[in-house]
Structures are given as C-alpha cells and as structure tokens.
Amino acid sequence: MGCSVSTSSRSTCSSGSRGEAVSPLCFEIGFCGTKRTKRTFSDHVITLQNLPSVPNRIFTNGKSRTSCIFTQQGRKGINQDAMIVWEDFMSEDVTFCGVFDGHGPQGHLVARKVRDALPLKLLSSMHSYQLRQNGSGGACLKGNLKKSDGSPEDRLNCLWKETFMKSYKAMDKELRSHTNLDCFCSGSTAVTIVKQGPNLFMGYIGDSRAIMGSKDSNGSMAAIQLTVDLKPDLPREAERIKKCKGRVFALQDEPEVPRVWLPFDDAPGLAMARAFGDFCLKEYGVISVPEFSHRLLTERDQFIVLASDGIWDVLSNEEVVEIVSLAPTRSSAARILVDSAAREWKLKYPTSKMDDCAVVCLFLDGKMDTESDYEEQGLSSATVQSNHSGNAIETDDGQKTELYLPRNFTVRSSEEIDSYGRVAVEFEGNVDAVSTEDQNWSGLEGVTRVNSLVQLPRFSEERPNP
C-alpha cells in the first residue's frame, strides 16, 4: 500500500523562460508517443519516512532558490498551518507549492499529513498516466481525450486537471481510512500550485488563498487573485450543501461568518464548503473536490503568494502585494508579511486571539537575493542558506529545528507519532471539477476570524433519519 515516486533527472527541453513559447509538454513524461531520454519512475524511491531528506523540498521557515516560506503560531493553541515548496518537483522546470490550514482537534495532524502525502499522489498520478500512455501506444488521457483532440496546451491542461482531481480524491480517501488519524471532525484546507515553465496550474479547497503580484501597463504593482475562497455562502456551494440536507447559516454574534451545520444538530459549524477530512459533513454537502484553473504567466507577473486565512482576515490582496514587493530582501518577504499581519491583528482586534499564519512567496523570475542584499540586512548568505536545503527535521514533539528564522511549534503526542504511514495510491475514476464561473471572489476582509469549527457534533438516539 506504500507509494513510491520518482525524482527525475533534470530536464533539458525547457529554457525556463516565463515569456517564451516553451513546449508545455516537456516535464519528462512522454506525451502522445514522444520519446524522451529520461529516468524511469522507479529510479529513485521516496516515502513519507525519508521526505525530509529530499533535496530542494522545504517545509519549515526559510528559503529556497526561488521562494521563501514562514509560519507563526497564533494564540489559539497548536499551530495548525503547514506549508511546502518543492523545487525540481518532476524536472528542473517544475515547482510545487502548497499551504494547508488545519482545523478541529487533530487539524494540525491532518494539515501535515496532506502536506506530505498530496505531492506524492500528484507524482503517482502522473506516473500512472505515463504507464497508460506507454501501454496504449500514445493515447492521450484515456477516457478524456483522443490522440488527435486539441492542441498540446489543451491536452496538458486536461492532464493536470485530471491529476489534481484524482490526487485530491485519493488524499481524502486515505484520510478516511487512516487508522491513527481521526478526521471525523478534523480537516484541512489546501491551496496548491504547480509551476511548469510559463504554465501555472492550481488546485484548491477551503479558504486559504493564492494571489499574484503583477505589473500593470503603467509599471505599477497590482494584485491578482488566483483562487476563490470556497465558503458556504457562495451560491453554488450553498446550493450543493442544501441539496444534501446540510444547513448553512451564520451565528447571531458573527453574522459575517456563514457555516455548515448538520441537519439534526447545531454542529459542527464549519466555516468552509470544501475541505479534506470533516467526514461528519461529507454526506451533507462538504466535499474535497478541488477547484482547478490554469494560467499562462507573462513577463509582467512578478511573484505568487499563498497564505492561510490568518493573513487574509486582516490584510487585503493589495496590502499583501505591497508588503512583499517592498520587502528589503526577498528571503525575508514571508516573515515580514506574517509580522505585518500580527500587528494588524493587535490593532484591529485587540480582544481577539490571533490566528495561525502560513505564507509561501514564490518569485517567478527564479531569482533570490544578492550578497549585497544580505549585507544591508546584517546577515551573511551562509547563515541564511544554512538550513534551507530541504533537510529540516521535525522532532517527535512536532517542533522544527531552524537556524535562520524563529521556529514554530506544532505539537503532536507520542501516540500520534506513527500517524504518518505509507501513502495510498488507489484512484477511483474521474471527478468533475466544479466551475468557478459566476462565483464572487469572497474573503473575510476586516472581519475577525473565529474558529473554523464551533463545536463537535453530539449524536443522539433521537437523531432523525436524513
């Protein structure tokens, strides 16, 4: 039942330029019968047990060649946010990024489990496609496209869509069957992107968000929202939940926060319409099917920011873009953004408990700081780079050892240490994505974010049949 995936050798079929017309199909997966020199899927095996030693994969505060990430615990207990950047994900020109915001009693465990396992499922799904393609003599996307259908870009987009759909479904299935992880009233959001050359593919559930900083025609920085906050008040989300006999309403003391409730009990009050886990609501309209979108990057696009709602509750998209673009060094951008959010929490909501914050900043030109940038900040490049090779260690109590930035504290008990088992790789059919057409961009702007779950459901014998 374990999952093995491959880290391929570096690709030579893409220049990596964001503006050039690079073939979008060259990520060392032969497409439609194209033969490439490549390593096989089994050349290198990765399991959850040795993920921390994978090169170019970072999941703790720090930076990589093209990104910086930072998380800080709020004042609600255990830090339930998780994040990851994985460069050279499939080849030299492919990067995976993700932010995961857990909720419920074991939300921190769910978020970290998804952080570790979901990227492997994406790799496994791509490998499954490669096997189907080789076995069918070059047939593209069996069940979706014929060999002669569509342009290469359309086929690539369809391939990634199928990959995200299958991987998210497999991830939720694994959580449901996990023996050491109770996801009945615990879950996690996910906002994930794959950048391959000039192509950006996005899959997401819940209310974590991705935005992009891009220069407009006047050369000024503008904020572009890339994802939708999938909250229960969105018309299509509310309609689906109500059709499944779930209820959507806001509490009297927080009218700005619509929640999902069981049909027979005022619980659990989930503040999002889609999530991993939360199986007490999966029969009542909460789903783990991701929204999927594709964007072609241009030379005007500067950076992408992924963050949990602890950021978006107090900062607007425009404020986030301004903070990141004005950061003294790129490697400090994520930390400065979290610090700015923390100050806003204190100013706007001094009586509220600050939420956990997690940020990923991906710079699209592939460059980070120069030596002079570090000298201006009183840092040496050796200090900054000392712990950012992807080899960070999570100890048994969940703490992450770091040398450059303050550590965050995500705790798990000794009984939960073994909750990270092997990765399931079973896929069951295709799942259709739900279109975001006609949906409003939704986010809590200037509203104090309360707990994602109000209370755990209390089932009784008087429970009516749904």
Domain boundaries along the sequence of the chain: 48-132+151-230+288-363
pTM of this prediction? 0.77
Residue with tokens 């000039």: 198
Give the C-alpha separation, 182 to 110, whole Å: 9
* pLDDT of amino acid 446: 36
* pLDDT of amino acid 287: 97
* pLDDT of amino acid 8: 39
Give the C-alpha separation, 419 to 412, whole Å: 10
DSSP states of 274-329: B-EE-TTSGGGT-B-PPEEEEEE--TTEEEEEEE-HHHHTT--HHHHHHHHHT-SS
Give the C-alpha separation, 64 to 68, whole Å: 6
The CATH classification number of 48-132+151-230+288-363 equals 3.60.40.10
DSSP state of 260: E
User: What's phi and psi for 309, nearest 5 deg?
Assistant: -70, -10
* pLDDT of amino acid 370: 63
Strand-pair partners of 295:
200
What's the pLDDT tens digit per position in 255-274? 999 999 999 999 999 999 99
* Pick from 449, 216, 264: nearest CA to 345: 449
- Strand 190-196 vs strand 199-205: parallel, antiparallel, or unpaired? antiparallel
User: What's phi and psi for 125, nearest 5 deg?
Assistant: -65, -40
* Pick from 326, 322, 303: nearest CA to 18: 303
Sign of the dihedral defined by the CA atoms of residues 395, 179, 433, 439, in that order: negative
Weakly modelled stretches of the chain, pLDDT under 50: 1-44, 137-148, 379-393, 395-448, 461-462, 466
* pLDDT of amino acid 74: 93
* pLDDT of amino acid 30: 37
* pLDDT of amino acid 369: 75
